[in-house]
Structure 1
Amino acid sequence: MEEQKDVSMEEFMDSIDKSMKKIRKGDLVKGTIISLNDDEVLVNIGYMSDGIIPKEELSFEGEINPKEVLKVGEEILVYILEINDGEGNVLLSKKRADVVSNWNELEKSYNNKDVVTVKVKESVKGGALTYIKGIRAFIPISQLSIEFIKDTSTFIGEELKVRIIEFDREKERVVLSAKEIQMEEREKNKQKLWNTLKDGERRKGKVTKLMRYGAFVDLGGVEGLIHLNDLSWKRVNKPEEVVSVGDEVEVFIISSDKSKNRISLALKDVKDNPWENIDFNIGDVLEGKVVRILDFGAIVELTSGIEGLVHVSEISDERIFKPEEVLKIGDKAKVKVLDIDKEAQKMSLSIKSASNPYEEELKQYNDTEEGFTIGEMFKDLFK
C-alpha cells in the first residue's frame, strides 16, 4: 500500500514536471504579472518557479517605477536572464525581451517590404538617424528625398514614410529609404494625372527648370514644357524674362501624349490671342520695330504679340544678299502689309513697298493684257 502511494506520488510529481514549461537562458516567454512593487515585478511564466523582473530590467529609458507602467494580471513578454537567481527564482528582463521582439518585427517588415513611419531624430555625416521600436536606423542622404538635399538637419523632427532596404541583425545594421516610397507615390500620382489630363484645360503647376528653349512645369507628378513662344504673346528671348524656378503658375494644356511622356503647355492665355483682334488690313502702311534678323529676312513687331516677316527681297529696291546690310535689331521701320494669315499667325511685310504705297497699283495699271506697258505701245509717236 505504501509502495502504491510512492508510485502515485512519483507519477503526480512527474505529471507536474511535464506540465511545466521547459525554459533555457536566452528564451523569450510570455508571463502574467502576479504582483509588483517599487523595486521589482513578480511574473508567473508557467514554470515551477516564478520569475522576477528587477526595475532596472524594465526599460532602456532609465529607471522607472514598475507601478507606473505595469499592472497585476497584465500579460507581458520576458527574456530569461538566469534560471536560478540564487534564491530559487527565475531572473527575467522585459527590456531585452522588447529588443528581441522588435528585431523580430523589423526582420518581418524587411522581408515583407512594409512601409513604416519614423521621426528623424538626429543629423549625422552622410544622412540622418531615427529609431524604429527603439532600434537605431540610418537614412543615407541619398535616400531622404527624391529632391536634392544639401542640409540633413532640416529634416530633424520630420515624420517620413520609409522602407527597410538593408537589414543585418548580427551587426545591428538597419538602413532605411524614404526616397523609394516617394518615387512609388509619384508614379501613382503620375498615372492618376495622365488619366485625367485633357487638352485645352487649365492646370496649376510649379516651374522646376529653365532651358534656353522654354520652361518645365511640374503638374503634380508629371512635367510639361512651355516652349519659349508659348510663355507670352510678346517676344521672349529667355524664359527667365517671364518665370523663375519655384514659381507657381497656371497653364493651358496644348497637347499631351502619354506614350511619349510629353506634355506641351502654354502660359499665355489663349483667349487673349492678339491675332484674333488685328485692326489693320492688307495694304496698310504701319511702323514697326525690327526684333530679329534671319538669313532670309527680318522679323518686325507691329504691336504687342503681332510680328511679320520682311523677306530679304522686300527690304530694299537695291539688291542685297543679307538683311544686316540694311537693318539691325531695334531699328524702326515703315512696312506695308502684303499678306495676313490669322490661322497660321503669319504676316508678310515689305519695307520697300512702304516707301511707295501705290507701287503695286501703278504696276497693275501700267500692265496691258498682253504684258506691254503704255510707253512701249506708243514709243514711235514719242520719237
Structure 2
Amino acid sequence: MSDELNNVEVRNFEEGDKITGTVTSVEDKQVYVGIPDSKLDGVVPISELSNVHVEKASDVVNVGDTLDLVVTKVEEDVLVLSKRKVDALKAADEIKAKFESGEVFDAVVSDVVKGGLVVDLGVRAFVPASLVEDHFVEDFSDYKGKTLAFKVVEFEPEKNRVILSHRAVAEAEKEEKKKELLATIKEGDVLEGTVERLASFGAFVDLGGVDGLVHISQISYEHIGAPSDVLTEGEKVKVKVIGVDPENERISLSIKETQPGPWDNIAEKAPVGAVLKGKVMRLVSFGAFVEVFPGVEGLVHISQIAHKHIGTPSEVLEEGQEIEVKVLDVNEDEKRLSLSIKALLEEPQEENDYELPEENTGFQMGDLIGDQLKNIKNDDDK
C-alpha cells in the first residue's frame, strides 16, 4: 500500500492556478477544501467566499459542495484559495453581455447598506437608493432576500463597478402597460381607480398603470372649493371616461357622471307649490338664480321677486342670501325650475282700500245733520 501511495503523482501549485475542490469542513470564518493530487489542504477565508459581505461561512457553502477556486497563496502546509475571484472572472463576461444587450434579469438582494442595496452577481453589484423604485422608499430593510428584476446601467470592470437599476425595469413595465391601457380605454367606459394625487385644479386617478385627470368641475355636482374637500389620496373611486387622447397620453375622467344627476326625479323633490329654502347664486338683469338643491338652480323672474315694481333684482336681493321660494313650474327634461319669492309675501293693501275710523262721540252723524236741518228751518220761519 505504501508503494502505491509513493507512486501517486503529487501536483505542485503556484499562485494563480485554478483548481476544483470539495468542502470537507465549514467553520465560522473559513472553509477547508480537499484538493485532488495534493498533499496540502486548501483553506478559503470567509472574505474570499463571496463578493458580498458574509456573516458565517455556512451561509454560502456546505460540506460536500464542489467549488471552483484559484490559488492566492502557497504556504508550507496549506493552500490559500479564493472562490470570490473565480466567480468574478466568470461573472464579468455575463455582466458585460447583459449591459450591452439591456437584458432584464432576476437576482436576489444580498444585503441592505447605507445608500442602497447589494446584489451578488459573482461580483458585488450596487443598487443606489434612487434606482430601487420609481417612487420614494423610506426604509429598505425588508428588501434583503427579495428577488427583483434588474438591468445593468453601469459597468466598469477595471474599477470593479457594477450599477444595477430596478427602477428602470419598473418604469419600462409601467410605460408598456400604459400604452396597452391607452389602446383599450374608450370614451364612455366606467372604471374603478385610485386617487393618486390632488392638485388645485383636480385629481389624478390611477387606472391601473395610467393616470387620468378628473377636473375639479367633474368631481361633484355641488360647488367645491378644492378637490381635497371631498377626496383623499389613496381613495378608491368610480370614474367615467369622458375623453381619450392617445397621442398625448391624456385621459379625461368624471366622478360626478357616475352618480345620480341632481335633476333626476326633480318633479318629486320640487313639486309645483312646494316651498323650498335656497341660496341666491347669481343676479342678472331679468331675475335671480337660486340653488334649491346641490347642482339645481331655479330662476326667480324679476316679476316674481316683489309685489312692488323694482328696476333690478339687486334692489332687493344679494348673492349668497338665504331665502324661501315657491315652485311655480318644473320641467325635468329641460332642467328648468320657475320659482317665486313674492308668492310667499303678503300683498300690501292700497291706500284707498281702508277708511278712517269714526270717533266715538256718543251720538250718530245723522243726528248732527238732522239738528242742522232743524236750525235752517227755524230761521226761515222767522
Q: CA deviation at 1:165?
A: 1.3
Q: CA deviation at 1:176?
A: 2.1
Match of 1:79? 70
Spell out the pairing of 1:253-264 with structure 2 (5 A cutoff): 253-264=241-252
Match of 1:380? none
Match of 1:211? 199
Which residue type is aligned with residue 252 of structure 2? S
Match of 1:244? 232
Q: Alignment partner of 1:170: what SS? A: helix
Match of 2:377? none
Q: Is 1:94 the counterpart of 2:76 in the alignment?
A: no
Spell out the pairing of 1:12-91 with structure 2 (5 A cutoff): 26=16, 37-38=24-25, 39-43=32-36, 54-56=42-44, 59-60=49-50, 61=54, 68-70=63-65, 77-79=68-70, 81=72, 85=74
Which residue type is aligned with residue 293 of structure 2? T
Q: CA RMSD in A?
A: 4.2
Q: Alignment partner of 1:276: what SS? A: coil
Q: Alignment partner of 2:312: what SS? A: coil
| Aligned residues with identical type, % of pairs | 28
Aligned CA distance change for structure 1 residues 157 and 95 (closer, same or farther; 3 Å): closer
Which residue type is aligned with residue 122 of structure 1? V
Which residue type is aligned with residue 322 of structure 2? D
Q: Is 1:333 the counterpart of 2:313 in the alignment?
A: no
Which residue type is aligned with residue 161 of structure 1? A
Match of 1:306? 296
Spell out the pairing of 1:1-383 with structure 2 (5 A cutoff): 26=16, 37-38=24-25, 39-43=32-36, 54-56=42-44, 59-60=49-50, 61=54, 68-70=63-65, 77-79=68-70, 81=72, 85=74, 93-117=82-106, 118-119=108-109, 121-124=111-114, 127-153=115-141, 155-156=143-144, 158-268=146-256, 270=258, 272-279=260-267, 286-290=275-279, 292-293=281-282, 299-308=289-298, 317-320=309-312, 326-329=317-320, 331-334=322-325, 340=331, 342=333, 346-347=335-336, 349=338, 351=340
Question: Please, which runs of 5 or more residues in structure 1 have no aligned partner?
Answer: 1-22, 45-49, 357-383
CA distance in 2, matches of 1:114, 1:160: 14
CA-to-aligned-CA distance 1:4-31 (integer Å, 9 cap, x gap): xxxxxxxxxxxxxxxxxxx99647x5x6
Kept in 2: contact 1:55–1:63 (CA 8 A)? no
Kept in 1: contact 2:203–2:215 (CA 8 A)? yes
Aligned CA distance change for structure 1 residues 237 and 291 (closer, same or farther; 3 Å): farther
Q: Alignment partner of 2:224: what SS? A: coil
Q: CA deviation at 1:221?
A: 1.5
CA distance in 2, matches of 1:67, 1:218: 48
Aligned CA distance change for structure 1 residues 286 and 198 (closer, same or farther; 3 Å): farther
Aligned CA distance change for structure 1 residues 322 and 313 (closer, same or farther; 3 Å): farther
Q: CA deviation at 1:135?
A: 3.3
CA distance in 1, matches of 2:41, 2:95: 25
Match of 2:375? none
Q: CA deviation at 1:269?
A: 5.7
CA distance in 2, matches of 1:32, 1:246: 56
Count of aligned residue pairs for this structure pair:
315
Aligned CA distance change for structure 1 residues 181 and 341 (closer, same or farther; 3 Å): same
CA-to-aligned-CA distance 1:286-338 (integer Å, 9 cap, x gap): 52421644787755222344233558897665233869x72242512316567
TM-score (norm 1): 0.65
Which residue type is aligned with residue 187 of structure 1? E
Question: Please, which runs of 5 or more residues in structure 2 have no aligned partner?
Answer: 1-12, 26-31, 346-382
Aligned CA distance change for structure 1 residues 310 and 54 (closer, same or farther; 3 Å): farther
Aligned CA distance change for structure 1 residues 291 and 113 (closer, same or farther; 3 Å): farther
Aligned CA distance change for structure 1 residues 42 and 148 (closer, same or farther; 3 Å): closer
Q: CA deviation at 1:134?
A: 5.0
Q: CA deviation at 1:115?
A: 2.0
The 10-residue stretch of structure 1 (135-144 or 175-184) with the greater mean CA deviation from structure 2: 135-144
